[in-house]
């Protein structure tokens, strides 16, 4: 039987959801979660299934650059290091950064002896299950009596994308500018966050956990929920600190709107709970800010430009979900107007601050919060920060909840079977861009490439170099290599590279040019020495066959690369060689 509880107002009974006793709904929910987790693991499973003989799958077919950053962090924790060092630059830096998430994964890797990439995927799947399960609990809190709205909301959350599929020709191989965001911004969607990394998955889980706890604190008046929210924010501030802006904007806007709605009456307790949750959240966020101010390498990384594109790219990027979310707000407004007119007709004052049932929602304040969350999420990405668009993570959740309610409301006059069929079709219509994401990565696996031209499969020569460096160089050794090829070494060896990642390496573009000049056949020997000194590296990894390697200077001249393996200068001492690469120890004293 449904269970009666008291609402936040203290005088309106609510009906808590009885969905847990409904086996059909539980099975449907379980099937959706399982399908989402399987589909978001498809490319990884395909990669492991298609490994060519003598090669190794790096663990990801998309955003291989950042995946190797995660591997480098995880490698350090498995080596027993608590603080993370940026292994993609030899610039001096204090070791101050640490991550609760990667420390936990490092412990798992040490205990289980599983490959690091597998630990990342298992954590991604576990975090994904937790996120979708908690999302369903949150959706059930919103719609205790509307099964169609619950299932539609979860369906959109698990599978939806936008209209990027209409621009498929632009992003079938690369991430282009000017396309809808579902073509290039995974953190904007639950499906692609589950697909990409455990960091995105767990961070979205913590965003939802924080806001869920705050909403429960608001509705029940219990401080313990505010404490849970603060603890979620505390961990989030450590592992993905700029998401705190998203949370603060969502809950802050809701409190302002609700305070105005209540005309400032009986709001002190809710504000006090919010301040308490914020106080628990801030220590880790402030610590990250301290690192930002004191660590020049971290500061440079934080200033990597990820600015928000024009609004139309977001509208098209969410597509049908965005349209339905707007419909939901229009429906809520029309319902409120109709209720006010009815109150006027019977001579009663229009209700203000009421928390009773609201057209399928558990109460009006729940709708108010979800609407404020959706609006705030689209506002916060225009704050004056270089990482604007990254703060969109979590926005997909309120949009999908609003879209699910709109889909349920707009189809309520249909027969039950027709209603479920139409809602299911609406969910399926939002999936094509995600499907094309999977298709693109499957195609890249076939040709050993990616949207950033990095390799998902490493050949035997590269693997042998990484193995030699791991076994024969000290843990603090630094390695110079072509920045494009050096990407994989930190995660495989735990060693520092001079340059290897577009945002982790300061002035990455300049490092590519510097290495090209160093390799040029007409470069003066003194300039090569100066370059090697500037890298602070003890070892150089260099291609064995340079016969087909050349570059064009600014004046239009074609220059070939120097064959150091055939005729090494005295300051490069050969220590290892295979068919693909030569490894030299750098000794500038000679």
Q: Where are the domains of the chain?
A: 3-442, 459-586
What pLDDT does residue 345 have?
A: 53
Centroid of chain to Cα 387: 13
CB < 8 Å & 24+ apart, contacts of 201-204: 201/123, 201/124, 201/127, 201/128, 201/131, 202/101, 202/123, 202/127, 202/131, 202/239, 203/236, 203/239, 203/240, 203/243, 203/393, 204/131, 204/393, 204/394, 204/397
Rounded Cα–Cα distance for residues 121 and 38 (Å): 12
Contact (CB, 8 A) for 421 and 414? no
Rounded Cα–Cα distance for residues 456 and 462 (Å): 13
**Side-chain-side CA neighbours of residue 24 (13 Å):** 4
The candidate with the shortest Cα–Cα distance to 132, out of 14, 218, 225, 28, is: 28
Contact (CB, 8 A) for 249 and 381? no
Q: What is the pLDDT of residues 446-475, one digit of tens each?
A: 999 999 999 999 999 999 999 999 999 999
Rounded Cα–Cα distance for residues 74 and 112 (Å): 14
Q: How many residues does the chain have?
A: 590
Rounded Cα–Cα distance for residues 209 and 561 (Å): 54
Query: Which pTM value belongs to this model?
Result: 0.92
The domain made up of 459-586 is a member of CATH 3.40.50: yes
The residues that bridge with 561 in the sheet, in sequence order, are 520
pLDDT in tens, the chain (590 residues): 334 343 343 333 344 445 444 889 999 999 999 999 999 999 999 999 999 999 999 999 999 999 999 999 999 999 889 999 999 999 999 989 999 999 999 999 999 999 999 999 999 999 999 999 999 999 999 999 999 999 999 999 999 999 999 999 999 999 988 899 999 999 999 999 999 999 999 999 999 999 999 999 999 999 999 999 999 999 999 999 999 999 999 999 999 999 999 888 889 999 999 999 999 999 999 999 999 999 999 998 888 888 999 999 999 999 999 999 999 999 998 887 766 554 455 544 444 444 445 677 888 899 999 999 999 999 999 999 888 999 999 999 999 999 999 999 999 999 999 999 999 999 999 999 999 999 999 999 999 999 999 999 999 999 999 999 999 999 999 999 999 999 999 999 999 999 999 999 999 999 999 999 999 988 999 999 999 999 999 999 999 988 777 666 666 666 789 999 999 999 999 999 999 999 999 999 87
Centroid of chain to Cα 17: 31
């Amino acid at each position: 039987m449904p269970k009666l509880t008291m609402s936040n107002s203290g005088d309106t009974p609510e009906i808590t959801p009885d969905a847990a006793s409904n086996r059909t709904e539980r099975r449907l929910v379980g099937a959706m979660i399982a399908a989402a987790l399987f589909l978001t693991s498809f490319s990884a499973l395909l990669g492991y299934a298609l490994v060519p003989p003598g090669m190794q799958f790096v663990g990801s077919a998309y955003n291989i650059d950042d995946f190797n950053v995660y591997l480098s962090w995880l490698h350090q924790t498995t080596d027993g290091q608590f603080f993370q060092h940026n292994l993609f630059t030899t610039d001096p830096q204090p070791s101050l950064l640490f991550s609760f998430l990667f420390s936990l994964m490092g412990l798992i890797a040490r205990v289980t002896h599983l490959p690091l990439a597998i630990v990342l995927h298992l954590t991604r799947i576990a975090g994904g299950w937790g996120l979708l399960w908690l999302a369903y609990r949150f959706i059930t809190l919103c719609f205790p009596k509307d099964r169609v709205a619950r299932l539609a909301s979860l369906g959109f959350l698990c599978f939806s994308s936008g209209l990027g599929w209409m621009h498929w020709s632009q992003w079938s191989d690369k991430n282009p500018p000017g396309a809808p965001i579902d073509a290039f911004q995974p953190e904007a969607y639950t499906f692609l966050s589950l697909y990409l990394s455990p960091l995105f998955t767990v961070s979205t889980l913590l965003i939802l956990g924080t806001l869920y706890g705050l909403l429960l604190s608001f509705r029940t008046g219990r401080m313990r929920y505010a404490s849970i929210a603060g603890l979620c924010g505390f961990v989030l501030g450590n592992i993905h600190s700029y998401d705190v802006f998203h949370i603060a904007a969502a809950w802050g806007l809701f409190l302002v709107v609700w305070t105005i709605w209540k005309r400032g009456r009986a709001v002190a307790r809710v504000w006090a709970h919010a301040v308490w949750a914020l106080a628990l959240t801030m220590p880790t966020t402030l610590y990250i800010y301290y690192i930002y101010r004191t660590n020049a390498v971290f500061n440079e990384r934080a200033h990597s430009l990820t600015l928000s594109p024009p609004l139309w790219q977001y509208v098209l990027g969410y597509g049908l979900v965005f349209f339905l979310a707007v419909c939901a707000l229009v429906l809520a407004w029309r319902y409120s107007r109709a209720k006010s007119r009815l109150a006027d007709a019977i001579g009663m004052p229009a209700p203000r601050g009421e928390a009773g049932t609201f057209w399928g929602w558990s109460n009006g304040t729940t709708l108010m919060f979800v609407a404020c969350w959706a609006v705030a999420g689209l506002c916060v990405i225009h704050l004056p920060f270089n990482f604007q668009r990254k703060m969109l993570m979590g926005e997909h959740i309120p949009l999908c909840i609003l879209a699910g309610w709109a889909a349920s409301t707009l189809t309520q006059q249909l027969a039950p079977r027709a209603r479920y069929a139409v809602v299911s079709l609406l969910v399926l219509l939002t999936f094509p861009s995600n499907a094309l994401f999977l298709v693109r990565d499957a195609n890249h696996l076939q040709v050993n490439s990616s949207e950033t031209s990095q390799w998902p499969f490493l050949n035997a020569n590269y693997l042998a170099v990484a193995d030699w460096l791991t076994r024969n160089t000290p843990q603090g050794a630094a390695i110079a290599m072509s920045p494009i090829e050096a990407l994989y070494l930190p995660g495989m060896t735990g060693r520092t590279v001079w340059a290897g990642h577009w945002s982790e390496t300061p002035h990455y573009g300049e490092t590519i040019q510097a290495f090209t000049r160093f390799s040029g056949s007409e470069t003066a020997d003194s300039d090569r020495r100066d370059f090697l000194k500037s890298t602070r590296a003890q070892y150089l990894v260099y291609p064995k066959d340079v016969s087909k390697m050349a570059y064009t200077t600014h004046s239009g001249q074609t220059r070939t690369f120097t064959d150091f393996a055939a005729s090494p200068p005295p300051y490069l001492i050969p220590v290892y060689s295979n068919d693909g690469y030569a490894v030299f120890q750098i000794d500038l004293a000679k």
